[in-house]
Amino acid sequence: MALFPYPVVDLQDRSEVTEPERLRVTLARGVLLFRWAMVAFMTAVAATGEPFRRPMLAWTSIGVAAAWTTVLTVQGHRWQTSYMLVDFAVCAWLLVASGVVVPVESVVSGRPFFAQGYPVSAAVMWGVARGPGSGLAAGAALSLFLIAVRPLNGVSLDELEARQVATLAGAVLNYIVAAGAVGLVARLLVESAEAVDAANRAAVVERERAARLAERERIGRQIHDSVLQSLALIHKRGRELMRAGRIAPERVAELAEIAGAQEAELRGLILREPEESPTGSASLRAALEQTARAVDGVAVTVSSVGPVWLDRACVEEIAAATRQALDNVVEHAAARSATIFAEEEDGIVSITVRDDGRGFAYDEDHLRAAGKAGMLKSMKGRIEDLGGTMSVSSGPGRGTEIEFRLETEPHRTQEPA
């Protein structure tokens, strides 16, 4: 016989459970503990107290309460109305039984009440499940049974003494207030839990968004590489065609074909697996290539021994310093070409910017006196902030070589955090 034919939701599975649900389950567990204590109390009263009018009925009632509590323990509390109505019925029955099983008039004689606290748990659970309003209503409904216990025990409500009325009123109030208060607390807790949940979800969404942006930026960079290259190629060929004087249509078609081939290559690039990078790091080579492309006025070649993975922030600073070095070349060196070289060897990263320009006599004090040290100083500052050093080697007619040297932290090369 399927006594509780409701779909089983495994509330233990924390990955699927929301914060408010988890909270309700915790409260239900607390109430469950209380239920077991009350079952034990009833058993103690039945075993040691005055003989009952209907011992069989008393033990059956205890059995029902114990069975129901076992079900709740094994399955966990459910929140469906039918389930809670069963709970309500068990609690109401315990109240009714209290009046029927004990000797006549003993409910007002100051002896321990048979069902004692157990029934209040039904009212409290309504409060937990449906809020303070439902809790109050359930408490009030159970109170009616509490009041009905007196006539069932042979006590006329009309003949209650003032003290007994006060005791009854106190008990009724206990039921209503307990259910209402727990309901109110539960609602407040659930609301704050929902807020926490919403904040968690927002954080997850934000993290995913950041990851997507980073991915898009990376793809964007790679496309940038390829597009620039194909454009440079078409530019060159286009100019060759123009110089040829007359332009045959098939030559233009061939140019279009080149563009098409580059397009296909680009597509392949987009579909390609990303270059695997340690978390939080960036490729120095990629950053330097990007820097080189942005410079106008001198042909810049990048030559790197491997991708050289470093902290993203570190890569950005090195690229900025390199950019300053290249700007210097364009402005002052009268160079035809410049080469950026980068490598990491024995825990030292070195970056060299070398040009074939006119060179100069490098003397920092002299440059400072002439007010020309600004750019060099700023470059040097960047690298020194990273814990590195900058050196300049130049001489009239020899070109200039600027070298940045930085120690890499062991964690960067071994195990990115």
Give contact residues for another protein (rule: CB under 8 A). Answer: 225-226, 229, 232-233, 236-237, 240-241, 251, 254-255, 257-258, 265, 301-306, 337-339, 341, 343, 345, 352, 354, 356, 399, 401
Using only C-alpha atoms, the chain has a radius of gyration, in whole angstroms, of: 42
3-class SS letters over 72-112: HHHHCCCCCHHHHHHHHHHHHHHHHHHHHHCCCCHHHCCCC
Nearest-approach distance from CB 290 to another protein, in angstroms: 14
Tokens 């567990």 label which residue?
A: 29
In whole angstroms, what is the distance from residue 398 CA to residue 400 CA? 7
Nearer to another protein, 354 or 412 (CB): 354
Nearer to another protein, 43 or 222 (CB): 222
Return the number of other C-beta atoms located less than 10 Å from residue 88's C-beta.
20
Nearer to another protein, 389 or 393 (CB): 393
Nearer to another protein, 257 or 407 (CB): 257
Q: Is-contact 307 284, C-beta < 8 A? A: yes
In whole angstroms, what is the distance from residue 184 CA to residue 302 CA? 68
Nearest-approach distance from CB 363 to another protein, in angstroms: 21
Nearer to another protein, 229 or 277 (CB): 229
Nearer to another protein, 302 or 392 (CB): 302
Q: How far is CA 410 from CA 141, 314, 347, 401, 414, in A?
A: 71, 14, 8, 28, 6
In whole angstroms, what is the distance from residue 154 CA to residue 167 CA? 17
SS3 content of the chain, % helix, strand, coil (to 5): 65, 10, 25
Q: Is-contact 35 120, C-beta < 8 A? A: no
Is 50 in a helix, a strand, or coil?
coil
Nearest-approach distance from CB 373 to another protein, in angstroms: 25
Nearer to another protein, 296 or 365 (CB): 296
Nearest-approach distance from CB 258 to another protein, in angstroms: 6
Give the alpha-carbon dihedral of 389, 394, 400, 402, to 10 degrees.
0
Nearest-approach distance from CB 8 to another protein, in angstroms: 55
Nearer to another protein, 125 or 302 (CB): 302
Nearest-approach distance from CB 302 to another protein, in angstroms: 7
Nearer to another protein, 18 or 229 (CB): 229
Instruction: Mark 126-148 as b/e (b = at least 16 C-beta within 10 Å).
Output: bbbbbbbebbbbbbebbbebbee
Nearest-approach distance from CB 367 to another protein, in angstroms: 23
Nearest-approach distance from CB 352 to another protein, in angstroms: 5
Q: Please return the burial class of 277, using the count of CB atoms within 10 Å of its CB with bins 0-12, 13-18 and 19+.
A: middle
Nearest-approach distance from CB 316 to another protein, in angstroms: 21
